Amino acid sequence: MPVTDFLERNANLYTNEVALVELNPEQQDNRRISWKEYELIEGSRFEPYRREITWGVFREKANRFANLLVSRGIQKGDRVAIIMYNCLEWLPIYFGILKAGAVAVPFNFRYDADEILYCAELAEVHMIVFGPEFIGRIEANAHRLSKGRLLIYVGDNCPSFAESYRDLVADCSSQFEDVPLTEDDFGAIYFSSGTTGFPKAILHKHRSLTQAAEMEQKHHLTGRDDVFLCIPPLYHTGAKFHWMGSLAAGSKAVILKGAKPETILNAVSSERCTIVWLLVPWAQDILEALDSGKLKLSDYHLSQWRLMHIGAQPVPPSLIKHWKDYFPDHQYDTNYGLSESTGPGCVHLGLENTHKVGAIGVPGYRWECKIVDEEDNVVKQGQVGELCVKGPGVMTCYYNNPEATAEVLKDGWLYTGDVAMQDEDGFIYLVDRKKDVIVSGGENIYPVQIENFIRKFDKVKDVAVIGIPDKRLGEITAASIEIKEGCTCTKEEIDEFCMELPRYKRPRVIFFEDIPRNATGKIEKPVLRKMHGADQLVAQENGL
């Protein structure tokens, strides 16, 4: 079935129940308001500090936008881009696109003007819906973006080169005669993260979107009484498809603008959230705030919080062990996936498998996995190879890129580019990105293994390991290390701590710096390579 059927069911069965809440802790009538002030005001419902819509209103908003699209000539299969920060309008616009039979194309909100133009042309979009934060970036190429495309602005003070979403939908009916859809119709284009080059346009059918919703609900046992806290950007498959567990269950979700530790705990407390998906840096920040005494669990209502799960990158086992010190009763899951596999869940740890923390898990609901060598032979348990996945969430193709599609799609299997191994119990461990493997003096070195080890050092907040050029060995291992606030650390301390590693795995070069991460929490190793890859002086200064 198409994923829009979930919205229709929820709007019919739970018409007046809350579907979405938007929280913006730092904004209230253009001034700041503290959580303490908010909590003192009984029955507070401030805009835009806190907004909410029911399932019935959700459908009405989606219907109005679908009618707008049809009135402007958008036809089945046409592509409509969205570039907006998280807000209450985001998901109704997305579903309005789907209900009209069009293909939703979320853009990364970090794209600059030229990247927006590149992706608009790559996906051949017919319309771009954008928020106020992107006026300058759209205007920079408005003369090219507006050729054959409609530009719709969501916000106050509509710029002259666009049309106002608010004015247009006000004239549209809240009833919509749905375009006939099946699970084989195209539903969305997502873009690869771009951490390894220019982003590719990933085309998915409704089957992928429905699979994501059903899988998320099954993996995390999402029920009608659960409340999901959504913090990551909705343009990304991770946030969107984790939220779709709430869509499948017909339960409430909270869209939080802000990721500071106190902001997250306040939202969980005030909205009685039960399921929270965190990125590794946010979990680290919460633990650091609790360790330092800046935050105290006793100040919040957290007893209803039952599940914390993490995805988007390898999760250090030491982090989860530390998390359990503060939240011993929490269920925990980690989710692995790619935009090409409709985001997280093609491999997941499972709520019952906390004893296997460190593994990414087992094949997800309706998924198959295999690990192969360079000759495409399945490797034995305990051996490393490339992880391949197969299931109803695999992409159709890279849009307008048959060569790239053929490289990763073979007989229905998606070749992920990730190096993995499977233990004797069938649990899969992510070793590293295939492209991130360091070859030093003929030895393969997997950065994730070194990163997990260094994170155990109590002064280290974050770490990223890359290879930098070396005339004798080809590459040597370099570690960029971010130290916890209030701590001091020297290269000698790190060197001493790493003596437990085999000699060939020990970092030869140490950088103390902030770790660059993208909006979905992934370490931007190309940025680090650009910073350090050709810097041979650093190697000399480290005694090489």
pLDDT band at 279 (very low <50, low <70, confident <90, very high): confident
Cross-strand bridge partners of residue 478: 466, 509
Contact 176/189 with Cβ under 8 angstroms?
Answer: no
| DSSP class per residue in 174-227 | S---PPP--TTSEEEEEE---TTSS--EEEEEHHHHHHHHHHHHHHHT--TT-E
At residue 292, does pLDDT exceed 80?
yes
Q: How far is Cα 333 from Cα 351, in angstroms, rounded to an integer?
A: 5
What is the token pair recorded at 44?
A: 């507070």
pLDDT score at 434: 66
Average pLDDT, the chain: 88
Tokens of 251: 């339960």
Residue 361 to residue 229: CA distance in whole angstroms: 23
Interior/surface letters 164-203, b for 16+ CB within 10 angstroms, e for the rest: bbeebbeebeeebeebebebebbbbbbbbbbbeeebbbbb
What residues have CB less than 8 Å from 33, skipping those under 6 apart? 25, 46, 49
Contact 431, 419 (CB under 8 A): yes
Give the pLDDT band (50/70/90) at residue 536: very low
Residue 541 has pLDDT above 70, yes or no: no
Q: For residue 266, give the amino acid letter.
A: N
Task: Please give the pLDDT value at position 501.
Answer: 85
| Distance in angstroms between the alpha carbons of the first and the last residue of the chain | 61
Share of the chain above pLDDT 70, in %: 90
Instruction: Report the distance separating Cα 446 and Cα 440, nearest Å.
Output: 11
The DSSP line for 155-188 is: SSS--TTSEEHHHHHHTS-S---PPP--TTSEEE
- Interatomic CA distance for residues 342 and 238, integer angstroms: 8
What pTM, to 2 d.p., does this model score? 0.81
Highest-pLDDT range among 22-36, 122-136, 300-314: 122-136
- Say if residues 416 and 338 touch (Cβ distance below 8 Å): yes
Residue 212 has pLDDT above 50, yes or no: yes
373, HSE (Cβ side, Cα atoms, 13 Å): 8
Looking at per-residue pLDDT, the higher value among 418 and 128 belongs to 128
Which tokens is 182 given?
């099946």
Res 436: pLDDT: 76
Which CATH class, in words, describes the domain spanning 437-541?
alpha beta
Residue 194 reports pLDDT greater than 80: no
Radius of gyration (Cα) for the chain, nearest Å? 24
Task: Answer for the pair 309, 328: CB distance below 8 angstroms, yes or no.
Answer: no
| Rounded mean pLDDT, 409-416 | 96
Closest CA to 106 of 199, 19, 224: 199
Q: What is the pLDDT of residues 34-85, one digit of tens each?
A: 434 444 444 444 444 899 999 999 999 999 999 999 999 999 999 999 999 9
- For residue 45, the model assigns a pLDDT of 43
pLDDT at residue 197 greater than cutoff 60: no
Cα separation values, 447 from 301, 427, 435, 465, Å? 39, 20, 11, 5
Cα separation, 62 vs 55, whole angstroms: 11
**Model confidence band, residue 237 (pLDDT cutoffs 50, 70, 90):** confident
- Residue 245 near residue 211 (C-beta atoms within 8 A): no
Q: Are 121 and 27 in contact (CB under 8 A)?
A: no
CB atoms within 10 A of CB 111: 20
Q: Which of 34-38, 115-119, 181-185, 474-478 has the lowest mean pLDDT?
A: 34-38
Q: Say if CB 194 and CB 235 are below 8 A apart.
A: no
pLDDT tens digits, 425-465: 999 998 766 677 787 766 678 788 888 889 889 899 989 89
Phi, psi of 95 (to 5 degrees): -75, -25
**Phi (first) and psi of residue 291, to 5 degrees:** -60, -40
DSSP labels, 337-367:
EEGGGTEEEEEE--TT-GGGBTB-BEE-TT-
Find tokens 């017909």 and name the residue.
250
pLDDT tens column, 353-399: 988 988 999 999 999 999 999 899 999 999 999 999 999 999 999 99
Which residue is it, tokens 């209030």? 486
Distances (CA, A) of 334 to 100, 215, 331, 337, 365: 34, 14, 11, 10, 14
pLDDT at residue 316 is higher than 70: yes
Among 206, 214, 204, 203, which Cα is nearest to 181's? 206
- The domain spans of the chain are 437-541
Q: Would you state the pLDDT for residue 521? A: 66
